[in-house]
Structure 1
Amino acid sequence: MFSFVKNLFGKQQGDKALEDLKKEIQEESAIDIAELKDTEVEVENQPAASTSGKPDRVRTELSLHPMWEQELDAEKKYTLRFLQAELPEMARGLISVTGFSMIPQPNGMTVTMFFRNATDKPVRFKNIGLAIYLDDKPFARMRVDLSDMGAIPPHTSRPWEVLFPEESYLHDNFMFSRWKVVMKAGKRSHIWPSTLELDPEMERRMTQRQKDRLESLAYSLPPIPVNSVQITGFDIGKTKEGQLVAALLFRNGLSTDYRPDKLKITISDTDGDVVARGVVDASKIRVKPGNSRPWLIVFPPEFVKKPDANLRRWVLDVE
């Protein structure tokens, strides 16, 4: 608890030190509370003050959990109050999260952030999806039970620590110049199917190059619309026997398993010429909702129409 103390208070305090601390404040991730599910937040059922004639922007004040109120000394409370005062105004009706400390631990990464409430009622965060982004690329992602944080009063910001364990990491690249925390919650119109399904037989057939490209691809592709399936090619090659082998990533944004029967696949080169085309038996492909699954498609030599094609860049079309 209070891992951020090492980061924020391990130096001599003073006006210069406080100014330096402002640089710790990261970008804000905000969501309209009306978009959140009951499993994600709970709005306390009590009369709210009338908003008639009130400004659309809200300036928040610091709200400490009773445990933080008891454990932190006056100097640390002052510093948190100073940091909170530097946060921008919020649009009324939103909740948000803003990170201000990220410290590596032996078993993961501790991130301290302000959870902010610009509504006119107390809000309890429950089970929320959070992600760490390094230079605008996802680094770690998980759902967090925040029920212990308690109710956040209206128009306040509450600091809280969250440990992202190593199993939440999407890759091991720690090189970055900027970071931020993003709230992944609400009634989304898009899905990010980043959970990879990889059966042992498929893994044995893949080269290390294919595995590396797959890992990089799975966590760099943009989200897909809800109730859709997208298929992306991530590697291709030819065998000595003249076969063409294409590695595809199936991403399922449906609420049910994706189970195709047959797929008509066409691969073209940069000149627009058809390299291979055929109807593939896809009955063994099963992709769970919100998941991604790679699959290898093998075209026999007789289906390869342009054996000498340059495949440094290629186009995949699936029907």
Structure 2
Amino acid sequence: MAFFKRKRKEENLEKEKIDRNLHLEEKTEDGLVKTTLSFHPDWELTNQEKYVYQYKHEQLPLLKPNQISITGIRLIEYNDGFVVVAFLRNTLPKAVRFEAVNLLLLDENGNAIAKKQFELDGLGELPSMACRPWRFLFSNEDKLTDTIPAEGWQIAFELKQSNPKHQLDLAESWEQQLSPLQKEQLEKLVTSLPALKQGEINFMGIEAKMTDEQNLAVTVLIRNGTDKNIQLEQIPLIVEDAAGDVVSKGGFTLNDFEVKANTSKPWTFIFPKELILKDNPDLSRWKVYPPSN
């Protein structure tokens, strides 16, 4: 009986030794750290899948101590978006838990081609000196470009600026037509306006005048306070004069019209005379806005 107790004790000691070694950091001579592969306890993987992850893990570059890193290893497209399989690595001296993280998908030139915020409560605790695979689901709405390359991409944490400066975004046609003084005046206008709320998009009228053809030309500053580029295809607008009367309303179709993240873009909309609802409108004061419904 003593023999079996001693044998079980030796087996338990050996198991504890192995478990400790799995979580010890492995440092190289230059101080870089090699992580240990850790699977989420709820993941059910075949031996073949584990082998693939182990192989991919062995190919990863070493990290410096005290780093949190993400590395993409596979991209799978489907009708409604795509999935990125990535390794999250932790070389801090303690385990970490993630809450919400903002991730960017970058092309081979480092340009953002998709972005999304992920809630990572389900990831659980990532042990110290560990590497854990995870799947990140992007929808088509998260794309910043029409196509996602199958090769050359990488995934990264988005490092947000505390207060990014709102800038002027000019279409190429405007770049060519405006004088340097006009550009400078627009830039001063954009930077002097009250800050937009996070995620806000609004329309600010700059100029309204009747043309020689009795059309109404309204120049609008489209302000994008979101952290994503926006594409505008159909824009319905209403114009009111100083008396609060509706002068004109109509819808406009735009082709490849984009307003970059955290920028304001000027554009002129022409209401044909057939859509003018009031003769001799008072444009000393006026406003333009999209209908509420």
TM-score, normalised via structure 1 length: 0.48
Q: Name the counterpart of 1:230.
A: 167
Residues 1:251 and 1:78: Cα distance change in structure 2 (over 3 Å)? farther
CA RMSD of aligned residues (A): 4.1
Q: Name the counterpart of 1:295.
A: 266
- Contact 1:255 1:289 (C-alpha < 8 Å) held by counterparts: no
- In structure 1, C-alpha distance between the alignment counterparts of 2:120 and 2:69, rounded to whole Å: 14
Q: Shift in Å at residue 244 of structure 1? A: 6.5
Alignment of 1:277-292 (within 5 A): 288=225, 290=227, 291-292=262-263
Residues 156-208 of structure 1: CA distance to partner in whole angstroms, max 9, x if unpaired?
100010110011011213456411101114xx4x47xxxxxxxxxxxxxxxxx
- Contact 1:61 1:85 (C-alpha < 8 Å) held by counterparts: no
Aligned AA for 2:170?
G
Residues 1:176 and 1:99: Cα distance change in structure 2 (over 3 Å)? closer
1:178 aligns with 2:130: no
- In structure 2, C-alpha distance between the alignment counterparts of 1:165 and 1:256, rounded to whole Å: 30
- In structure 2, C-alpha distance between the alignment counterparts of 1:132 and 1:56, rounded to whole Å: 29
Counterpart of 2:87 (choices 86, 100, 114) is: 114
Higher relative contact order (CA 8 A, sep 6+): 1
- In structure 1, C-alpha distance between the alignment counterparts of 2:120 and 2:53, rounded to whole Å: 20
- In structure 2, C-alpha distance between the alignment counterparts of 1:283 and 1:167, rounded to whole Å: 26
Alignment of 1:24-103 (within 5 A): 56-68=31-43, 71-103=44-76
- In structure 1, C-alpha distance between the alignment counterparts of 2:125 and 2:72, rounded to whole Å: 19
Residues 1:63 and 1:176: Cα distance change in structure 2 (over 3 Å)? closer
Please, which moves more after superposition, 160-169 or 282-291? 282-291
Counterpart of 2:134 (choices 157, 160, 170) is: 160
Residues 124-157 of structure 1: CA distance to partner in whole angstroms, max 9, x if unpaired?
1210011111223221111011110110100110
Q: Shift in Å at residue 73 of structure 1? A: 1.8
Q: Shift in Å at residue 105 of structure 1? A: 1.2
- In structure 2, C-alpha distance between the alignment counterparts of 1:164 and 1:126, rounded to whole Å: 18
Residues 1:66 and 1:109: Cα distance change in structure 2 (over 3 Å)? same
Identity of aligned residues (%): 27
Q: Name the SS of the counterpart of 1:167 in structure 2.
A: helix
Aligned AA for 2:118?
V
Aligned AA for 1:147?
D
Q: Name the counterpart of 2:108.
A: 135
Task: Determine which structure has more spread, i.e. the larger CA radius of gyration.
Answer: 2
Q: Name the SS of the counterpart of 2:169 in structure 1.
A: strand
Q: Shift in Å at residue 257 of structure 1? A: 2.2
Q: Name the SS of the counterpart of 1:140 in structure 2.
A: strand
Aligned AA for 1:149?
L
- Contact 2:169 2:265 (C-alpha < 8 Å) held by counterparts: no
Q: Shift in Å at residue 57 of structure 1? A: 1.9
Aligned AA for 1:229?
H
Residues 1:235 and 1:119: Cα distance change in structure 2 (over 3 Å)? same
Q: Name the counterpart of 2:290.
A: none
Q: Name the SS of the counterpart of 1:236 in structure 2.
A: helix
Query: How many residues align structurally?
Result: 184
Q: Name the SS of the counterpart of 1:93 in structure 2.
A: coil
Aligned AA for 1:118?
T
Q: Name the counterpart of 1:310.
A: none
Aligned AA for 1:57?
L
Q: Shift in Å at residue 288 of structure 1? A: 3.2
Gaps of 5+ in 1: 1-48, 192-225, 264-281, 299-319
Gaps of 5+ in 2: 1-23, 207-218, 228-261, 270-293
Residues 1:169 and 1:55: Cα distance change in structure 2 (over 3 Å)? same
1:125 aligns with 2:64: no
Q: Name the SS of the counterpart of 1:112 in structure 2.
A: strand
Q: Shift in Å at residue 284 of structure 1? A: 6.9
Q: Name the counterpart of 1:169.
A: 143
- In structure 1, C-alpha distance between the alignment counterparts of 2:194 and 2:114, rounded to whole Å: 24
Residues 1:84 and 1:59: Cα distance change in structure 2 (over 3 Å)? same
Q: Shift in Å at residue 296 of structure 1? A: 2.6
Q: Name the counterpart of 1:316.
A: none
TM-score, normalised via structure 2 length: 0.52
